[in-house]
């Protein structure tokens, strides 16, 4: 399986998704440093939120074949600039999490991911498991 690095804001569901994809229960406390379990690299949200730490994400991306940009369906804005894909030499996918939240807007989140350059966008729910299988198939 290809290795994926998960990038997104604090609280967007990276660790929960990483647990599902790796098939193990990861610590549900705030991720302080990058954690690799099997073929999944879970990164701290603070790295994506802080321009001084953002460069570290490129190091983690170097260790993976796929970069997964994550936006929760209930997020009010996107962290990702348009066409960020041009900065990568890896496959980049978008992942909309928390699609089961009634107040969420998965279509808006998908639009932001497509604007960032994601040609493939997955919709997932940790509650129901929706979309997890599709990501795992993509990584095969």
pLDDT of residue 28: 60
pLDDT in tens, 10-65: 999 999 999 899 888 766 656 567 788 899 999 888 777 776 666 666 667 778 89
pLDDT of residue 94: 97
Nearest to 44 by CA among 24, 25, 65, 59: 59
| CATH class of the 4-92+107-139 domain in this structure | alpha beta
d(CA 48, CA 38): 22
pLDDT of residue 47: 74
pLDDT of residue 105: 96
* Domain extent listing, the chain: 4-92+107-139
Cβ atoms within 10 A of the Cβ of 132, count? Answer: 16
pTM given for the model: 0.90
Cβ atoms within 10 A of the Cβ of 80, count? Answer: 22
Contacts of residue 3, defined as CB under 8 A and 6 or more positions apart, other chains included, come to: 39, 40, 41, 63, 64, 65, 66
């Amino acid at each position: 399986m290809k290795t994926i690095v998960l990038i997104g804001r604090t609280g967007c569901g990276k660790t929960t998704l990483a647990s599902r994809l790796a098939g193990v229960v990861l610590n549900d406390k705030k991720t302080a440093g990058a954690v690799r379990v099997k073929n999944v690299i879970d990164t701290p949200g603070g790295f994506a939120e802080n321009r001084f730490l953002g460069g570290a994400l490129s190091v983690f991306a170097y260790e993976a074949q796929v970069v997964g940009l994550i936006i929760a369906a209930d997020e009010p804005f996107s962290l990702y600039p348009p066409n960020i894909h041009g900065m990568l030499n890896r496959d980049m996918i978008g992942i909309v999490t928390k699609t089961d939240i009634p107040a969420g807007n998965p279509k808006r989140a998908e639009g932001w991911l497509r604007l960032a350059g994601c040609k493939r966008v997955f919709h997932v729910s940790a509650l129901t498991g929706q979309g997890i299988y599709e990501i795992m198939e993509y990584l095969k």
